[in-house]
Amino acid sequence: MKLFPESAAVQLEFDKVKELLHAKCRSEYARNKSKELRIHTRKDFIERELKQTHQFRQLLQNGIYFPNDYILNLSKDLKLLGIPGAVLSGEQLVGLRKLALSLEAIFRWFDKERRESYDALTLVIEGTYYEKAVLQLIDEVVDETGVVKDSASAELQDIRMGLYRKRNDLRRMFDRIVGKLNKLGYLSEIEESFMNGRRVVAVYAEQKRTVKGIIHGESDSRRTSFIEPEETIELNNDIYELESAERKEVYRILRELTSRMAIYAPLLTTYHNIVGEYDFIRAKASFGIEIKAEYPVLTDKAHIHLVRAYHPLLFLYNLRSGKTTIPTDLTLDAANRILVISGPNAGGKTVTMKTVGLLQIMVQSGLLVPVHPSSEFGIFKQLMIHIGDTQSLEFELSTYSSHLLSMKEFMQSANGKTLFFIDELGSGSDPNLGGAFAEVILEELARKHAMGIVTTHYLNLKVMANKTPGILNGAMQFDEQSLMPLYKLTVGKPGSSYTFAIAQRIGLEKRLIDRARQLVDEDHFKLDKLLNRTEQDLRQVEQKQKELNGLLKENDRLKKEMEVLMNKEKHRQQVELLKQQNRITEDRIVYLKDMERKLRQVVLDWRKAETSEDKRELMKQLQALLFKQKQQQSAEKVKKKINSKYQEVGGEIIPGAKVWMKKAHKVGEVKELRGKKAIVQLGIIPITVDLDDLVVVKEKEVE
């Protein structure tokens, strides 16, 4: 991305973001990348970087282990490996071994399922492979501490075996000499030491001529002499020669191993970059978690749609201070390309502008940003900024001259892929003339389809934004009652500068404020007052809207609770119905089992019956049993049919009443009463029925 001026990133505090990211990096590779973080303009590259950071953030938040524990800075070792004739030490080879182990763990981690779930992270190892031979070559020669193994060559094994024997011989002989001299009282308190790589005895200075050997030195007080005994000189010489031979053989082995490893230098360099790349992605993910960042939508056009956006540095500062950060919501698109923000000083205009600029740079650098995930960011190829006093002493330019020079560059270079930010457009000159130039500048930037944000106090720019297509007003809210800024952006309406309200807040005398009001042009004052009233009315509408939304949410909650209660009641009724059905079924099963038992008893009695009289008696029992069953079934059917049409009401039986005959299971009409009996008309036939066998009923209403 092209920046104007070159200090634009610093003015937007992108350097501070890079410093915070740098502190999260553990490897030298990642630190270098954080220092040289580039702002890209290719959608596929930005999308990949954002997705990688998002996926690693998911790993961190879900506590999923990723094998990037080793922090390896092996760039110098790898460079040395690629130089012909170079020799790596055992410690350096151990570092390369750890690098190979780290890559082995990473390749094992990316199984088939994870390659699909974390496709963006998989791209880092795409195009490379894991080479087992690297570990095998190192393990054949060097152990885990970097010491060359005895088995590295037959010559080294023989040398070390010889050294082992000679050192044992020297130890036994030296112990005898020390014991002998100790008995004679020649040795000082320390008894023995090492000098010039050779084992010596510590003898009192007055006895140094008595003990035969080579004097290697004296103590600082000259009371003790260090002597190599004559008996051990030859053994020490043999050990010295063997140690020299060991060093030469180890050097030869390491040189040969380095030569064999040199063919893998490019691959190991790739491994080193992969480990560093994952460390850099981890640092970005960790930083994203710290600032509560999200993965926004990316579009390949000039477009900005911010939902609940925060300035990351302001968010961290307020978090440490225990303050609340007010989010920003705004949209710049093809229909509304330029936002003119007005409002009181120290109300948050510049912070809002810097928030948009910094978040845009962060996104195009592959960093997650503190916004709602539904936010959308387009891609811009040029970012231009003019914030603060740019007076130049070097070129003898005034503030306004410098301002116009910057505006000239804006108008010449701006295009449809330009994002610009201008703080206090037109300031530094006569308000009327400066306001006129400001209108011209805005018109030209709008004509070139550039997208950006402008802050101003000029009323003419607020009026222009209302009537010019592609330009819209915005205002930073201000509480006129408490005379305090609210740091919240409202898009669509211009804002007042609250000049007199702020003067009142700082304690300026009322007579001076009133005098200033008199000097202001009446139309100008009326417009400013109208803006004040409009803004306060808008705040009241927003408050009412918030309360209405709260009531709607409460209504939805109560509705859901009612639905839950209704579902519970419906479920309870269904359970009761099933219980009743089960109870009827159980009674039916009991009845059938009883009937089965009785029928079996009849069959058994039939087989035992000897006379025809007994069999006739059994037949009567069987007929009675079966007839009673059939009669009960018929009675139940008739009863159900009557219950479906009539409802029992009870009460006194009088002529004209509808009655139900219990025994006959019929419904008729009472014609007359005769003592304890009644004449009931059943169809066309009148019959006499006992009053105890009758129940008053009425027809059910048809629903």
- Residues 126-136 have pLDDT tens digits of 989 999 999 99
Sketch the domain layout of the chain as residue ranges: 22-150+259-297, 154-251, 304-504, 558-629, 644-699
Checking if the pLDDT of 115 tops 90, the result is: yes
State the architecture of 644-699 in CATH terms: Roll (2.30)
- Tokens 């051990």 correspond to what residue? 232
Least confident of 265-274, 426-435, 509-518: 426-435
- The DSSP result for 180-220, as a single string, is HHHHHT-EEEEEEEEETTEEEEEEEGGGTTTS-EEEEEE-T
The total number of residues shown for the chain amounts to 703
The proportion of the chain whose per-residue pLDDT surpasses 90, expressed as a percent, equals 40
Q: Are strands 338-342 and 471-479 parallel, antiparallel or unpaired?
A: parallel
The overall average pLDDT reported for the chain is 83
Integer Cα distance of 130 and 107 in angstroms: 7
For 633-661, the pLDDT digits (tens) are 555 666 666 666 777 777 888 888 888 78
Q: What is the dihedral of CA 526, 531, 533, 539, to 10 degrees?
A: 180
What are the CB-based long-range contacts (under 8 Å, 24+) for 621-624? none
- 488: nearest Cα among 304, 337, 305, 324: 324
Q: What is the dihedral of CA 489, 491, 493, 499, to 10 degrees?
A: 20
Q: What is the pLDDT of residue 215?
A: 81
Please state the pTM of the whole predicted model: 0.68
Q: What is the pLDDT of residue 13?
A: 93
Checking if the pLDDT of 402 tops 90, the result is: no
Q: Are strands 418-422 and 382-386 parallel, antiparallel or unpaired?
A: parallel
Name, of 229-243, 297-311, 521-535, the range with top average pLDDT: 297-311
325, amino acid identity? T
- Tokens 């030491």 correspond to what residue? 193
For 318-363, the pLDDT digits (tens) are 999 898 888 999 999 998 999 998 877 666 788 899 999 999 999 9
Residue 386, φ and ψ in degrees, nearest 5 = -140, 100
Dihedral over Cα of 106, 109, 33, 19: its sign: negative
Integer Cα distance of 287 and 467 in angstroms: 43
Cα separation of the two ends of the chain: 77
CA distances from 613 to 608, 617, 619, 623, 626 (A): 13, 6, 10, 15, 20
Taking each helix axis as running N to C, give the angle between helix 265-290 and helix 90-109, from 0 to 180 degrees, rounded to the nearest 10: 60
Pick 227 or 494 by higher pLDDT.
Answer: 227
Name, of 256-260, 547-551, 625-629, 699-703, the range with top average pLDDT: 256-260
SS3 call for 485: strand
For 223-282, the pLDDT digits (tens) are 888 888 888 888 888 888 999 999 999 999 999 999 999 999 999 999 999 999 999 999
Mean pLDDT across 468-488: 74
Per CATH, is 154-251 categorized as 1.10.10? no
131, amino acid identity? E
Q: What is the pLDDT of residue 484?
A: 60
State the architecture of 304-504 in CATH terms: 3-Layer(aba) Sandwich (3.40)
Mean pLDDT across 72-76: 87
